[in-house]
Structure 1
Amino acid sequence: MGAIMISMDIESVRIHPLTPDDWARFRDLRLLALAEAPYAFASTLSEAQARTDQVWGQILTARTQFVATVDGRELGTIGGVPELGAAHVVSMWVAPEGRGTGIADLLVRTIIDWAAAQGLPTLRLEVSDGNGAAERLYHRHGFRRTGALGPISATDPRLEFEMRLAL
């Protein structure tokens, strides 16, 4: 069954940061993302389901996580983690009904603006090999492959490649 596209004006999209107190909202959105697009993430749904409430709060303490909403409905998310003088883009996802609406572009622009405001000169991220839609999204915003390629994790041999954007 295909996703139902929502009718919306891109101007109706609101993007705002989550706080550690928003851990339950982030947890629910992340579990939805992992269930819907397991191919796109290094972590798994079962790993995320096993996290305690405290861990979810700690995740939001260690990163800046944005959420995109339309009429109060959460349709996407993207996170940024400062590390070694750069920003690592994490947890990017848009609900199927929000794809093709411009939400993904707004989220990527938001994380680029966040990194620039933090004085971080570079953003980096990983894309699972074969996820052409994600690569095209990031490429539109200036990210380029670095040549780094490796397994998603020690327990997941699928390949992912790194992309970077210099600000």
Structure 2
Amino acid sequence: MPTPELVHLDADGWRDFRDVRLASLADSPYAFGSRHADWVDATEERWRARLTDVPFTVVARCGSGLVGVVSGVPSDDHVELISLWVAPAQRGTGLAGRLIAAVVAWATALGRDTLLMVRDDNVQAIRAYERAGFADLGVPPDRPADEPRERRMRHAPRAG
């Protein structure tokens, strides 16, 4: 199996983002805050806006197909890693680690830590984040009880 190429998308890459995002929402609906139904009929303008509002989005391309995606959103003091997904055929190949590393490298270049939220029951994702150097900070105390339990994880830039 060839090694997927990681490609940073801007708003002009909206079609690729649409395709991989809809695939991720259909494949793993439990892992995301958004639902497939929220995006399936989205306009080009909405897809472009997502890539503008979330300035760091990377897709993994393998041949003519898209097999992974991840995004990073900067805040005042950190970058939030969001929307990580790897196609089932690529799981266990190290692609998740490469996608995570892309966001961490971007955050580190900005001088910021990387934080994320992950569902308690998403054991595969938690393991991938731990392998990538994230520490589990637990369930935030202000997390609403009527929402799925999510854990906060943090990756701090290494002092160089």
TM-score (norm 2): 0.89
1:57-113 per-position Cα deviation (integer Å, ceiling 9, x unaligned): 011012210011122321101100101221000110000011111111111111111
Between the aligned partners of 1:35 and 1:102, the Cα distance in structure 2 is 22
Are 1:107 and 2:99 matched, yes or no?
yes
Are 1:18 and 2:9 matched, yes or no?
yes
Are 1:28 and 2:31 matched, yes or no?
no
1:102-158 per-position Cα deviation (integer Å, ceiling 9, x unaligned): 1111111111111112222x1111111110000000011111121234359xxx722
The amino acid across from 1:97 in the alignment is A
Give the C-alpha shift of residue 51 in structure 1.
2.8
Q: 2:130 aligns to what?
A: 139
Q: 2:46 aligns to what?
A: 55
Contact 2:7/2:59 (8 A) holds in 1: yes
Secondary structure of the residue aligned to 1:157 is coil
**What count of residue pairs does the alignment treat as equivalent?**
154
Between the aligned partners of 2:144 and 2:35, the Cα distance in structure 1 is 15
Which runs of no fewer than 5 residues in structure 1 stay unpaired? 1-7
Give the C-alpha shift of residue 13 in structure 1.
2.1
Between the aligned partners of 1:161 and 1:75, the Cα distance in structure 2 is 25
Between the aligned partners of 1:65 and 1:129, the Cα distance in structure 2 is 24
Are 1:157 and 2:147 matched, yes or no?
yes
Between the aligned partners of 2:46 and 2:156, the Cα distance in structure 1 is 31
Secondary structure of the residue aligned to 2:97 is helix
The 5 A counterparts of 1:118-129 are 118-120=110-112, 122-129=113-120
TM-score (norm 1): 0.86
Give the C-alpha shift of residue 32 in structure 1.
0.8
Which runs of no fewer than 5 residues in structure 2 stay unpaired? none
Higher strand share: 1
